[in-house]
Structure formats: C-alpha cells, structure tokens
C-alpha cells in the first residue's frame, strides 16, 4: 500500500480537523496559569480518566506490545497489572494527599520535606526522561505510517509535531484533556479494527488461532518460580510494575497534574481509577494482536520479505505489525487505524508539553522571578511549550535519521538521573525522621548504583569493568528506589532532626487530617480550602 485511498485520507483529515477545532475552542479561555495548567480544576471524572488512558497508551504501546507478544508471550503485560494494584493500595491516599499538598507541580511537595534542592532535582529528572520519550514517540509512528503510505518520515514527524504544539500552545491543559478524550476513543476503535481484521482473515478461524497459541504457551505471563535474578520472570516483572506505577502515581507530573483538575477528591479518585481500568484491557488487546499475528502467519504459511529478517534470517518482531498493516488492512479501516496511531503520539506529546511548561514555570521561573506577574508566567509557559515541542521534534528526527542507537548514551543518562524518585517519595511520606541530609546520602548512593548497573549491564551497556551488573534490566530502578529509602532513612539518624518538618506532610499527618475531615466533610470540597 504505497498510498492511502481517498476514504482513509478523509478519515484522517476529519481527525486532524477535530483536534484543531478543540484547541481553538479553548484558546480564548487561557488567560491565567490556573486555566493553562490545571484547567480551572473543573474537569469531570470521565474526561479525566480518558485523558489518563490516552496519555499512557502511546505510539510505543502500539508497536512494542504486539512485537513482544509475537516474539514471546504476555510477560510484558505483568507490570501493567500493577497499574490497578498500586491504585487499589495507595490511590485513595495519593490522590487526596497531592490535591491538598501542592498547587500545580508535584515537586512542590519535595521542597516542603527536603528543601528546594530536592524539588529542583526531581523536576529536572522528570523533564529529562520525558524529553527522550517524546522524541521516541514521534519516531515510532513513522515505522507504521510511512510503511502504509510511502510518506517521508521527516515530514510525518514535523507535521505531527507542529499540529500537537499548536493546539497545546493555544488551548492549554483544557485543550489537551478534551483532545485526549477524542484520542482515547480513536485508539480504542483502532485496536478493535485490527483485531476484527485478524479474526476475519484467520485461516481456520479464531478457534484455530487460540488453540495454536495456547499449545505454544503464547498466553503465558512468564515463569512463576520465585527467582528475582531471572529475566522475564513473572515476579520480577510484577515487582518492576509496582515501583514503576508508584513512581507514576506519586512523582510523575503528568498524573499528579490530572489529580488537580478534578472538582473534588472523589471526582479525582474516580478519574484515576477509570484511567487505570481502561489501560489494562487496552494492553491485553495489544498483546492479543501480537499473538494473533503470530498465529496468522503460522497458519497461513506466508513468508516474510527480506526487510523483516535480521542477518541470521530471524524475523524482527517489531516490524511484523507494521508489515501486516501495510498489506492486509482494507480502505477506510486503514484510515481509522492511522488516526489511532496519530492520536497515540499526539496525546502523549501534548500532555508532556503542558506538564513540562508547568514544571518550568512553577519549579524554576517563579523561584527565579517571584515578583513576576500572572501574564509573564503564562507567556513563559507558552514559550516552554513551543521550545520543548520543537526540541522533541528534533530528537525524533535524529533517531529517524541515524537510528535509536545514536541516542543510547542520552537514554542511559536520563535513566541514571531519574533514579530513585519513588524511593524519595516513600522516604518523605512515611518517615517523620527523614531529613534532607539523609535524602541526599541515599540519592548519591542510588545514582552511583544506577550508573554502574546501567553502563555495565543494562540495556545500554557501554562499559566492562570486570565486575558488571548481571541482574534483569527492569530491577535496576527497583533497587535504586530501595537504596534511597533504606540508605536515606539510616543516614538521617546521623544528622540532627529537622524540627521544621510538619506532621501533615507525612502519611501519619494525612491520617489525622482525614479524621478531622470526617467531622467536617465540607472541608474536602476544594484542595485550595484546606492547604497543608
């Protein structure tokens, strides 16, 4: 399929027109940072939930999950199960706590507990990680889209980046959230289209595909032996998922900022729960796509072209799904899936851009220019959106031109820099005794470990020191969080206690506050009415 048919182009044009219209609709309302960064705290829970879903399900998910299931089993789904598990255990606490602990930035909390240095560092770690993600998200869509259309990959990256920057720039977080509502629906339609096509053309029907896949353990979540040193072990992936989603719920601006847009605590919790509950079946659907792709090519006996094979003649799993889209999706349905691919990249990028602007203004600019006016802060926020967007486009173009290997050092660096944020939150939240001296001792220990493990044994191995990290890559972050927590707490006892720490900045203070709120339920109506 060298070019799309007219029906596909019409569907894509309708999608882009709808996105642009939403952005322009909210443009006239963006007259303050309260509107631009937290949407006047007036978003209904169902829109908030669809927004979270659309942000998490990126174009990387569209390609990586089917590729992983095609090549192996459903082991990569195990971390996603903890999106709901962590929410059930801590979501009620985290959502309510952050709505009353911070104004617009998640990292305000770390300044209260450990000083401005902790706030500046955590905000920088967030920014570094999300810059690399945005570039890779833009690059990922070219794999499928350019194969289906024959379009130039650089034009796709620049075009998608330009539209996303424009509606995020003019419409603020309101435009981001309401476009994500549309994009979330389009993503669901996209994956349903592919599943429908696969089941319709499957040789022997769906029953044959499921029997074949089951007989080859394609639905397995991995080995259930409790071996934390084994790669692909179910418990390893579950542990990784627990800390990954703890970090997302507690230290990631893209999620914490969503808590703040709801009308009250109950609406916020319902929105977060909806987002998590939508993500799990979506991940299952993408895994099922990969498994059915494997079954289809096994049952049909079709051979793969040379461009899908590596030097050893083995199939490159991540290329199979784009190849299937190119050769099997009919007119009209291809347009729906193309719109879903575009939405997957745009929703993640727009959310990141607005969050980066919020962090830039609240955590840095306001600190440097405390006397700045609301108009000046809003201008700087928009300037950060534009600058960050074009930088992400540049990163995507570099990856497209030279391959993702050229940025291995950059990705390794961001993995090191962002180490231990979940551990930092646990230390701050559960220990009254923890102080900033103890925190930085733990952070330095975690950074040293993460640097050694990432560079000597991780995905981007670059050094051979003779004594190299040999464990699963996904446990590097888990260990770093535990180092911050254990070392940070122990080291805190070597320094005098910080008497300026207020009890309400901890879990124990939150419990006491909840008891007071039960006596006065109206006090929980707005986070601004009950500041910590």
With bands split at pLDDT 50, 70 and 90, how would you rate the model's confidence at 295? Answer: very high
Give the range among 207-221, 258-272, 299-313 with minimum mean pLDDT. 299-313
- The share of the chain scoring above pLDDT 70, in percent, equals 92
Look up tokens 């254990």; give the residue.
486
With bands split at pLDDT 50, 70 and 90, how would you rate the model's confidence at 414? Answer: low
- The share of the chain scoring above pLDDT 90, in percent, equals 51
Query: In this predicted model, which residue has the larger pLDDT, 93 or 441?
Result: 441
Residues 177, 175: Cα–Cα separation, whole Å: 6
For the segment 192-251, what is each residue's pLDDT rounded down to a tens digit? 999 999 999 999 999 999 999 999 999 999 888 887 776 778 898 888 888 888 988 999
Residues 158, 156: Cα–Cα separation, whole Å: 6
CA 254 to each of CA 142, 251, 265, 356: distance values in angstroms, whole numbers, following the listed order: 24, 9, 17, 9
Q: HEC string of 378-422?
A: HHHHHHHHHHHHHHHHHHHHHHHHHCHHHHHHHHHHHHHHCCCHH
Query: For residue 303, is pLDDT > 50?
Result: yes
CA–CA–CA angle 521, 527, 531 (5° rounding): 95
Average pLDDT over residues 109-126: 94
pTM of the entire predicted model? 0.88
CA 135 to each of CA 140, 157, 427, 501: distance values in angstroms, whole numbers, following the listed order: 9, 9, 32, 39
Average pLDDT over residues 2-18: 82
Average pLDDT over residues 419-427: 91
Look at residue 413 in the predicted model and tell me its pLDDT: 55
Query: For residue 402, is pLDDT > 80?
Result: no
**What domains can be seen in the chain, in order of their start residue?**
6-30+42-402 (1.20.1730.10), 406-501 (no CATH)
By C-alpha distance, which of 161, 353, 110 is closest to 361? Answer: 353
Ramachandran class of 43: left when φ > 0, alpha when ψ lies in -120 to 50, beta otherwise = beta
């Amino acid at each position: 399929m060298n070019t799309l048919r007219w029906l596909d182009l019409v569907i894509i044009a309708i999608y882009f027109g709808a996105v642009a219209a939403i952005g322009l609709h909210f443009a006239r309302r963006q007259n303050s940072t309260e509107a631009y960064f937290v949407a006047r705290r007036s978003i209904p829970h169902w829109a908030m939930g669809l927004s979270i879903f659309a942000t998490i399900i990126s174009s990387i998910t569209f390609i990586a999950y089917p590729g992983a299931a095609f090549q192996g089993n459903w082991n990569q789904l195990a971390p996603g199960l903890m999106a709901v598990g962590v929410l059930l255990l801590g979501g009620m606490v985290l959502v309510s706590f952050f709505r009353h602990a911070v104004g617009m930035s998640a990292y305000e909390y770390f300044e209260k507990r450990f000083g401005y240095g902790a706030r500046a560092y955590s905000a920088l770690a967030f920014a570094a990680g999300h810059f690399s993600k945005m570039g890779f998200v833009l690059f990922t869509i070219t794999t499928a889209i350019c194969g289906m259309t024959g379009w130039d990959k650089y034009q796709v990256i620049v075009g998608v980046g330009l539209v996303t920057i424009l509606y995020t720039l003019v419409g603020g977080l309101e435009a981001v959230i309401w476009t994500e509502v549309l994009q979330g629906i389009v993503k669901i339609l996209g994956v349903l289209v592919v599943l429908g096509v696969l089941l319709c053309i499957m040789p022997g029907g769906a029953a044959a595909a499921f029997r074949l896949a089951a007989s080859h353990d394609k639905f397995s979540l991995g080995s259930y032996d409790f071996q934390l040193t084994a790669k692909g072990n179910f418990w390893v992936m579950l542990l990784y998922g627990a800390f990954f989603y703890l970090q997302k719920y507690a230290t990631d601006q893209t999620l914490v900022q969503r808590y703040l847009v709801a009308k009250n605590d109950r609406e916020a919790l319902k929105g977060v729960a909806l987002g998590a509950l939508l993500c799990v079946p979506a991940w299952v659907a993408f895994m099922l796509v990969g498994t059915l792709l494997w079954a289809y090519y096994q049952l049909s006996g079709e051979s793969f072209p040379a461009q899908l094979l590596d030097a050893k003649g083995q199939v490159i799993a991540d290329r199979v799904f784009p190849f299937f889209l190119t050769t099997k999706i009919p007119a009209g349905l291809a347009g729906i899936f193309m719109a879903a691919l575009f939405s997957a990249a745009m929703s993640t990028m727009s959310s990141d851009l607005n969050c980066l602007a919020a962090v830039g203004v609240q955590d840095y600019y306001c600190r440097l220019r405390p006397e700045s006016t609301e108009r000046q802060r809003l201008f700087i926020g928009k300037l950060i959106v534009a600058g960050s967007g074009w930088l992400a486009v540049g990163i995507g173009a570099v990856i497209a031109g030279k391959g993702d290997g050229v940025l291995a050092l950059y990705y390794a660096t961001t993995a090191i820099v962002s180490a231990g944020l979940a551990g930092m939150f646990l230390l701050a939240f559960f220990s009254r005794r923890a102080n900033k001296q103890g925190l930085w001792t733990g952070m330095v220990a975690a950074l040293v470990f993460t640097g050694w493990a990432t560079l000597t044994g991780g995905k981007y191995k670059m050094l051979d020191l003779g004594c190299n990290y040999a464990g699963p890559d996904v446990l590097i972050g888990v260990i770093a969080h535990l180092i911050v927590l254990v070392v940070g707490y122990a080291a805190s006892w070597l320094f005098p206690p910080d008497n300026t720490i207020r009890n309400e900045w901890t879990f124990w203070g939150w419990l006491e506050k909840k008891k007071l709120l039960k006596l006065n339920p109206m006090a929980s109506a707005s986070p601004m009415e009950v500041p910590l």
